[in-house]
Amino acid sequence: MRTFSILFITCLIIFSCDSNNQAGKDEELINQSKPNVIIIFADDLGYGDLSCYGHPTIHTPHLDQMAQEGIKMTSFYAAACVCTPSRAGLMTGRYPLRVGQPGNLGPDSPAGLSKDERTLAEALKSNGYRTAAFGKWHLGAVPGYLPTDRGFDEYFGILYSNDMMPPWVNTKRPLHLYRNDEPTAEQPVDQTTITKRYTDEAIRFIKESGDDPFFIYLPHSMPHLPVYASAEFQGTSMGGRYGDVIEEIDANVGRILETLKEEGQDENTIVVFTSDNGPWRNMPPRMYNTEPVEKWHGGTTGSLYGAKATSYEGGYRVPAIVRYPGVIPNKQVSAELATTMDIHATILELTNSPLPTKELDGKSIITLLTEGALSPHESYFYFRGKNIEGVRNSDWKLRIGIPADGWTSPELNDKDLPILLQLFNMKDDPFEQFDVAEDHQNVVAMLRNQMEVMAEELGANLAEYKD
């Protein structure tokens, strides 16, 4: 009897160990099936600011290499032409006006992104991901709306734009650097080292994650004005001070990619690099109140017309590079229409995370990224605040709004400007040089009807155009 008992207990122990080992293996397999996600979100980076997008004097070898190892998108659109709504579009996968965030929040704003909306971080956290945000938030600067309230386990960064302090903005709130939900003692914030410090935090988080799936949102404060670079990069770029800033961002992208390789996470990590909107070349006079802001610190749209805060291509079309070794083929260039909101939907699908109860405006672009498929969008809409100012499909773009360019701030006297109706052929004329509305009235009528329908759906304003 004693021998039987010993054998029985031994079998139980062996079975228990095997079960634990199998459970550990199953958990490991589950984690491996969940790719890590890193979204690097530059601030006010223009379409033409990277060397792989044609800049003649700014050199970005790490982003160029990332594009070679994945896909470079040339018709990729931010969710808005200014900071807060663009970030709302990324975090929710929905048009900013639909989620009640059509314009920028300030340091004294009483709330933030609606709590009725589920963020990408909340979706991934509920799916077992470690989540962190390191950088500019700009979706709420008061308790209840901070990153740690919206799905992020950790946060380190500045809660809004780096110019939102005296003398550029009329506020009594100093610019603070936050750690989780508390401001640090650093005052004033040393912005010369901010790009590197955000990246240091991201690298630490990668190393601490081990085999646990992670989501890192890295929204850089740069190159939003005023621009700053660390001592290591100051005066090193042929592109001047602005070039120093971009090349430092590029170098830190390289640090992240190298860390992924060192940690054995390279082939299991999706890395996205893009910008929240076009460059702020058309900055208002308040930005010239002090050093170190100069006109040439505003970046470039390449050959695109317009700039930040306009519904021309220069305000909305941004660089976008996506890398996922073994899944996204290398050396791809796609001119198919895609948006920041699509990144949200695509990440949900790639990570097998549940969809929200509310319908997304973004669509999964997995087949576009992996198989060169066509865009899932029939149309895309351009907004400026609560105004709907444009729509485009694969061939055409209709714009109804005030005139703007890359050097005149739309904040100046737009009440007295005429309303223009312009039609551009996006295949023949992506630079919006030639208005062909008179020659294609049927196209104008079709696209204008789409704008009217969307304006009614979202409660947007559609300007009246009179011949």
Q: Show which residues are catalytic.
A: 83, 138
Gyration radius of the chain over CA positions:
24
For residue 370, how many other CB atoms are within 10 A of its CB? 14
> What does the longest C-alpha to C-alpha distance in the chain come to?
102
**Strand 396-401, strand 387-392: pairing:** antiparallel
3-state secondary structure of 83: helix
Nearest to 413 by CA among 421, 405, 422, 402: 402
Q: Which residues sit opposite 461 in a β-bridge? A: 387
The b-or-e profile of 442-460 (16+ CB within 10 A means b, else e) is: ebbeebbebbeebbeebeb
The b-or-e profile of 232-263 (16+ CB within 10 A means b, else e) is: ebeeebebebbbbbbbbbbbbbbebbebbeeb
Return the DSSP state at 391: E
Residues 77 and 316 sit within 8 Å (Cβ to Cβ) = yes
Residue 376: is it exposed, middle or buried by C-beta count within 10 angstroms (0-12/13-18/19+)? Answer: middle
Please give the C-alpha separations between residue 152 and each of 16, 177, 204, 219, 373, in angstroms, as whole numbers: 36, 17, 16, 13, 33
Q: Which residues contact 323 (CB under 8 A, 6 or more apart)?
A: 66, 69, 70, 71, 257, 270, 271
Listed in sequence order, the DSSP H helices in 76-193 are: 83-92, 120-125
Q: Left if phi > 0, otherwise alpha if psi is -120 to 50, otherwise beta: which for 448?
A: alpha
